[in-house]
Amino acid sequence: MSDAHWINVPPSRDGRDGFTPRGARVVAVVVVLAMGFGAGLLGGIVGSSSADRLGGSSPLVTAAPVEASEIGDTAVAAAWAAIAPSVVTIDSVGAEGESIGTGVIISSDGQIVTNEHVVAGAEEVRVRLNGATSAVAADVLATDAGNDLALLRLRNASGLTAARFADAASVAVGDPVVAVGYALNLDGGPSVTAGIVSALNRTLTDDNGALNGLIQTDAAISSGNSGGPLINLRGEVVGINTAVATGGISSTANNIGFAIGVAEVQRVLVILRASADGEARQQGYLGISLTGRGDGGSGAVVVEVEVDSPAEKAGLEVEDIILEINDQTITGQGALIGIVRDAAPGETISIVVERSGRRLVLSATLVARPDQG
């Protein structure tokens, strides 16, 4: 059994005495388990709400524009110049320490998207724009731990440059991409690293559920990159950097990083904005227990069907192999968990299963998760 690990990219630890990084959480990774490896994710570090210690009336200091003389003559340099005004440092302070992550401005009035694990448990959040010398206060508007995304807003902000999102359909394996973020909290501006899209629609699972719709990339991602953008050569955001793979004694993992894909980011942002406006959202529930396939095949195996659940009413049976949901291929149990969680109660989903060598198409109408009422 391999001892490779997957790590939610932690924010960088503050170097001052008395600050320690937050406790890591170990989580199962479906992609690795499906290949017979044992694996884990180590979770990230600070934040959840912000305090008023910074003084809410401080004016926002806008970032300096990128001068033409500072732009190189490569495609990567041009992509960096396009995204530069929209990349910020996030300084999260909580009971367990202080850490640095990255965020992306998504509205002119100061809305920022970052990873949930960057601001989980924070008592104070401070944001510094690229090119600025001082940080300003930010409030955490809403978080989604299951999808590892959070929505922040700078106080008293206006006239900021929002990042552009790429068309999700335009992202393909082999495309060149650039990861941007405050890697290791090094002095100066963000780090810029180049690579390609190595794979699409990866899935990782943790204690909060599953991260699905992930982009795998070989662009270098380090601590402090959490919440930063993965961009194409037009400077458009194709994903939000969130995790990396690390090797162990009996395995290697080189240049394997993950970003939450732009389609997932945009979908979750709609939910986060609604949550910030006070709208409660319930997750979908199917009523089955799953395991991975042990024969090398793709899909998730049903091991239990709850009585009177949407799954039972749809005709799902123990030992069915679920291959697709709503035309999305199920490569393992994590992908199924993520799709069902992200669906709304009352939504009808199409399920393709393999049963005793036959392929069947079933329909199930989801209900709200019981623990959500």
Does 309 qualify as catalytic in the annotation? no
92, 191, 222, 226: which one is catalytic?
226
Q: For residue 31, what are the contacts with CB-CB under 8 A and spacing of at least 6?
A: 202, 203, 204, 331, 332, 334
Find how far residue 53's CA is from the centre of its chain. 29
What DSSP letter does each residue of 87-156 carry, written as one string? EEEEEEEETTEEEEEEEEE-STT-EEEE-HHHHBT-SEEEEEETT-SS-EEEEEEEEETTTTEEEEEETT
DSSP 343: S
Residue 256: phi and psi, rounded to 5, are -120, 100
91, 92, 117, 320: which one is catalytic?
117
Structure tokens at 31: 């992609």
Contact (CB, 8 A) for 51 and 67? no
Taking the chain, what is the end-to-end CA distance rounded to the nearest angstrom? 40
14, 91, 144, 148: which one is catalytic?
148
How far is Cα 181 from Cα 189, in angstroms, rounded to an integer?
9
Does 5 qualify as catalytic in the annotation? no
As annotated, the active-site residues are 117, 148, 226
